[in-house]
A and B are shown apart, each in its own frame.
Chain A
Amino acid sequence: MSTATVAPTTSATVEFRSLRRQFGTTTALDGLDLTVEPGELLALLGPSGCGKTTALRILAGFETHDSGEVLVDGEDITRIPAHKRDAGMVFQSYSLFPHLTAADNVAFGLRMRGVAKAERRRRAQELLELVGLPQRAEHYPHQMSGGQQQRIALARALALQPRVLLLDEPLSALDAKVRLSLREEIRRLQQELGITTLFVTHDQEEALSMADRVAVLRAGQLEQCATPSELYSRPATAFVAEFVGTMSRIPCVRTADGQVEVLGRRHPVDGDLPADGDLHVLVRPENVELTPAADGPAQVIAASFLGAVTRLTVRLPDGTEIKSDLPTETAATLPLGTHATLALPDRPVLVDRRS
């Protein structure tokens, strides 16, 4: 990637206020309230059908909302048509215009704005250098790889120096290696230009690694919006806990003093303790300690090598399966069939009703 200079954009604040959208009997957005700060990269994360793409498309002007408001820098943009919204978008599918070269694709928006040809060429070249593809200026989309096409699409989205950059799962069609390098490049560009960015993804790793904050959506509602580390370590709900990262559920019982007893030990509860019903403690694999013990209740039934760590799956006598991440060297001392004791760190645990 070159270090070409492109004028930084004017970042905007984006606000969704009580946004609702219904498609027939399906509720895509159910009162979404969310604010994106200027220059921030916010990832909208959630399973298919949670409404993340709908929110992005409403902001871009490709969908309408039934009620609520979409504000950019405090101005309601509901009645502004898509082509006047000042938001650059990168689509999931390679959306380059097949009949135009890379340079012409990048300059398309400038042409629509009536920018002179010489200036268009200069700006297009500048942006192509910014995304590291100046040598592809005269290539057509079908002559480029998927990763290159998405870089050109990013350059095209930035050409008009938009106030907001919208990324609709731009990496999902790419292979793993390209995806990794492109996400670093997108993040670098976003930080360099300081542009407010909304990034829709269903890939938690992508969201956690790129975003300043991650908004987890479920059934059209915001579950939690927090920094990646907070989201991972202090999930607000069981859904967030299980959607972001890996979680194991271990049966527990409530005690008279408002704590829970799990694996023979008492733990304070992180958040609210459900008033009734059978309970589960949610634990991350890295928080489960395994110690080999011939009379231990857990038995190792599976192992997945993940590099520096190995993820072991153990089974309790009641059939509960729990995952534990151990340093690969330690995991080697626990081959399949080994019995072990389990322990959780001595801190508050997240509790949910048994599903």
Chain B
Amino acid sequence: MAQLISRLRVWRGAVLLLAGLYFLIPMAASVWFSIDDVNGISFDAYTGLLSAPGFTDSLVLTLELAVVTVVVLLLLLVPAMIAVRLGSPKLRPVLEVVCTLPLVVPPVALTAGLIGVLRWGPDYLMDTPFFQTFVFVQQPQFPLVLVIAYVLMALPLAYRALDSGLRAVDVRTLVEAARNCGASWPRAVFSVILPNLRGALLNASFLTLALVLGEFTTASILGYQPFAVWIYSVGNSQGQMSVAVSVLSLLITWVLLLLLAAAGRERRHKTATAS
């Protein structure tokens, strides 16, 4: 038995080492490439980022898109999921299918569909108030059409995160207990359910944020330049800076995922202690 355990440990170590190398070697190569200079080591690629043309604009645009996407997504999903749990539990599978459907639609197909609608709409809606809507959602300063696309793409991720959070809470009983204590429906949801979904809300937000930070296909095809598209365009002219930005965005994503894991651990710990 002891021999088997020690053999398993060796295998586990080997797999961990291989996985580590698989991720760390390209990462280290990227870091090395971004700081390698004919005169030795230079951090110009990192220090020059702030003054690089388009860096701030694309980063701000991406963050704005991310924040709006998160807000829209949560405003859509949270009330819908709570309402289904409280009012029509039988509709849960329907909501699940609808929310996870975007998983099977590739971003390219989604974007092609969006382009079709955006081209078709103005021709047919020229004389109606909807024409202005089409113009409004495509304005370059803040392309709302990207928010629509990102909300659809992030829907399955956010749904899963929120669903697991709701599963850990007895929504119906807690709402009834709150109402029994004198809280109205909205107050019961705000005072009792949302605070207990904090971890799930954070998870959903982080996942959406990570998706928006890295999304390239839709923004590029629709002709906008958020951060991911900017990195790509910089890569064509300033290779070192492009890799430096990639390394930084990777680190940011890792930090977000670590936060996510920490939030999950806290919830699991609470559940385990309670049971």
Contact B196 A99 (CB under 8 A): yes
> Given that A95-B170, A98-B274, A99-B196 are known contacts, is A109 also in contact with B176, CB under 8 Å in the complex?
no
Is B115 part of the binding interface, using a Cβ–Cβ cutoff of 8 Å? no
Q: Does A304 contact B (CB under 8 A)?
A: no
Instruction: Please determine whether B195 and A95 come into contact, CB atoms closer than 8 angstroms.
Output: no
Q: How far is the CB of B106 from chain A (nearest CB, A)?
A: 40
Bound: A87/B179 CA distance, A: 10
Q: Of the 9-residue stretches B52-60, B97-105, B182-190, B246-254, which lies at the interface with chain A?
A: B182-190
The answer on a CB contact under 8 Å between B180 and A88 is yes
Interface Cβ pair total, 8 Å cutoff: 74
Say yes or no for A160: interface residue by CB 8 A criterion.
Answer: yes
Residues of B within 8 A of A96 (CB): 177
Indicate which residue in A83, A97, A141 contacts B179 across the interface (CB closer than 8 Å): A83
By the criterion CB–CB under 8 Å, are A112 and B180 in contact? no
Q: Is B128 an interface residue (CB 8 A)?
A: no
Cα of A290 to Cα of B271 in the assembled complex, Å: 54
Q: In the docked arrangement, what's the CA distance between A93 and B177, Å?
A: 11
With contacts A98-B274, A99-B195, A141-B274 known, is A109 near B181, CB below 8 A? yes
What residues of chain B lie closer than 8 Å to A112, measured between beta carbons? 178, 181-183, 187, 191
Please tell me if the beta carbons of B273 and A142 are within 8 angstroms of each other in the complex. Answer: yes
Is B174 in the interface zone, CB < 8 Å from A?
yes
Q: Is the CB of B187 within 8 A of A91?
A: no
Q: Are A95 and B174 in contact (CB under 8 A)?
A: yes
Chain A hits for B198, CB < 8 A: 99
Q: Are B173 and A95 in contact (CB under 8 A)?
A: yes
- B180 interface neighbour in A60, A99, A113, Cβ under 8 Å: A60
When each residue 326-342 of chain A gets 1 if its CB lies under 8 Å from chain B and 0 otherwise, what string results? 00000000000000000
Q: Give A108 to B182 CA distance when docked, in angstroms.
A: 9
Tell me the count of chain A residues lying within 8 A, CB to CB, of chain B: 29
Query: Is A62 among interface residues, defined by CB-CB distance under 8 A?
Result: yes
Docked pose: A348 CA to B184 CA in angstroms: 56
Contact A97 B180 (CB under 8 A): no
Q: Which of B199-246 contact A (CB under 8 A)?
A: none
CA distance A112 to B270 in the complex (A): 26
B190 to chain A, nearest CB (A): 11
Which chain B residue has the least Cβ–Cβ distance from A142?
Answer: B274
Q: Counting CB contacts under 8 A, is B84 at the interface? A: no
B187 → A minimal CB distance (Å): 7
Instruction: Name A89's contact: one of B177, B183, B191 (CB within 8 Å).
Output: B177
Contact B183–A97 (Cβ < 8 Å)? no
CB distance from B102 to the nearest CB of A (A): 32
Interface residue? A77 (CB, 8 A): no
Residue A157, interface by CB 8 Å: yes
Task: Flag A5-18 by CB within 8 Å of B: 1 or 0 each.
Answer: 00000000000000
B169 within 8 A of A: yes
- Tell me if A156 and B181 are in contact (CB < 8 A): yes
Cβ of A172 < 8 Å from any Cβ of B? no
Query: Contacts of A93 on B, CB cut-off 8 Å?
Result: 170, 173
Does A82 have its Cβ within 8 Å of any Cβ on chain B?
yes
Contact with B along A248-283 (1 / 0, CB 8 A): 000000000000000000000000000000000000
**Please, which residues of chain A bring their CB within 8 A of the CB of B196?**
97-99
A60 to B174, CA, bound (A): 14
With both chains docked as a complex, state the minimum distance between the C-beta of B167 and any C-beta of chain A, in angstroms.
14
From known contacts A98-B274, A142-B273, A143-B273, infer whether A82 and B179 are also in contact, taking CB-CB under 8 Å: yes
Please, which residues of chain A bring their CB within 8 A of the CB of B177?
Answer: 89, 91, 95-97, 153, 156
Q: Which B residues lie within 8 Å of A60 (CB)?
A: 176, 180
* Interchain residue pairs A-B with the least CB separation, the first 5: A109-B181, A142-B274, A112-B182, A95-B177, A99-B195
Q: List 17 A-B contacts (CB under 8 A).
A: A62-B176, A81-B179, A81-B184, A83-B180, A87-B180, A91-B176, A95-B176, A95-B177, A96-B177, A108-B178, A108-B181, A108-B191, A112-B181, A112-B191, A142-B273, A142-B274, A160-B181
Given known contacts A91-B177, A95-B174, A95-B177, what 10 new A-B pairs fall within 8 Å (CB)?
A60-B176, A60-B180, A82-B176, A83-B181, A89-B180, A98-B270, A98-B274, A99-B198, A108-B181, A156-B181
